[in-house]
């Protein structure tokens, strides 16, 4: 039947196209993630220059709800985004990014008040970009299945969130806070690799359907922010 050469030719011609498709899709995911980070930075910076916004966020009970809202949104949005229209998914992604930015208003406030803290933020950001980039590349290229590790790291993040809330409400221990930051930083770095691999594999099976690019951008956005905020706390503590 002589199907061997034809199959080999088809495979050889398809493989580069598939690789290009995955690379292009992943670039789109990271572009959406970067856009979300840009929205968060703009909101945080803008609100830090508004006395009314600062009083609302840090001086009222409703402001606490706004600060905690991203936790619920990060939990419920991914599955729901897959059933939304693309404009709706994009809109909710930017709403989430803006809400996260509101919760990070304290960063530009503290940086404006202290050049030393501004240096901490800059150092944490550069380190975050380097670690995030390295782990994303590892997740994209490795042949090792990271799904088991990913599930463990998700549980570590959830445990760290619970411990952080308990510490904030009852213990107020600086040592425990630093320990939580270490756990979150390590888990966020590992989850970056896991999510990069998972997004790639889902795309290979399903293509870019069901707003996969936005859902993937949301997951990587959360990894980046968790890593960044943890490093800010750790670098700030190392200077005290």
The gap between the terminal CA atoms of the chain, to the nearest Å, is 75
Q: What is the pLDDT of residue 3?
A: 43
**Domain limits for position 74:** 16-239
Helix axes 174-206, 147-166, angle to 10 degrees: 150
In a domain, 78, yes or no: yes
Give residue 74's pLDDT: 87
Tell whether 4 is covered by a domain.
Answer: no
Q: What is the pTM of this model?
A: 0.89
- Per-residue model confidence (pLDDT) at position 101: 95
CA dihedral (70, 76, 81, 85) positive or negative: negative
Do the domain assignments include residue 7? no
Is the residue at 10 inside a domain?
A: no
**Grouped pLDDT means (10 residues each) for the chain, 240 residues:** 40 54 93 98 94 83 77 88 94 96 93 92 97 97 92 91 85 86 96 96 87 95 97 88
| 8 A C-beta contact, residue 47 and residue 40 | no
Tokens of 217: 């951008």
Helix then strand count (H, E) for the chain reads 9, 0
Q: Residue 5 has what pLDDT?
A: 43
Residue 233 within any structural domain of the chain: yes
Residue 11, in any domain of the structure = no
**For residue 112, is it within any domain?**
yes
Q: Per the domain annotation, does 227 fall within a domain?
A: yes
**For residue 11, what pLDDT is reported?**
40
Total tally of structural domains belonging to the chain: 1
């Amino acid at each position: 039947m002589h199907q061997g050469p034809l199959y080999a030719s088809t495979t050889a011609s398809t493989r580069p196209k598939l690789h290009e498709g995955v690379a292009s899709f992943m670039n789109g995911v990271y572009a959406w993630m970067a856009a979300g980070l840009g929205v968060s930075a703009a909101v945080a910076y803008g609100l830090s220059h508004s006395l009314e916004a600062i009083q609302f966020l840090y001086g009222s009970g409703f402001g606490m709800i706004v600060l905690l809202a991203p936790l619920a949104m990060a939990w419920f949005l991914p599955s729901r985004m897959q059933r939304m229209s693309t404009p709706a998914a994009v809109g909710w992604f930017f709403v989430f990014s803006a809400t996260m930015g509101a919760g990070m208003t304290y960063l530009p406030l503290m940086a404006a008040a202290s050049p030393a803290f501004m240096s901490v933020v800059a150092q944490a950001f550069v380190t975050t970009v380097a670690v995030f980039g390295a782990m994303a590349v590892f997740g994209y290229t490795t042949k090792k299945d990271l799904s088991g590790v990913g599930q463990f790291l998700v549980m570590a993040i959830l445990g760290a969130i619970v411990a952080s809330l308990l510490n904030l409400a009852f213990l107020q221990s600086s040592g425990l806070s630093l320990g939580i930051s270490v756990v979150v930083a390590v888990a966020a770095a590992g989850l970056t690799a896991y999510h990069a691999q998972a997004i790639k594999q889902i795309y290979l099976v399903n293509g870019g359907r069901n707003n996969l690019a936005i859902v993937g951008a949301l997951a990587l956005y959360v990894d980046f922010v968790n890593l960044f905020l943890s490093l800010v706390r750790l670098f700030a503590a190392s200077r005290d």
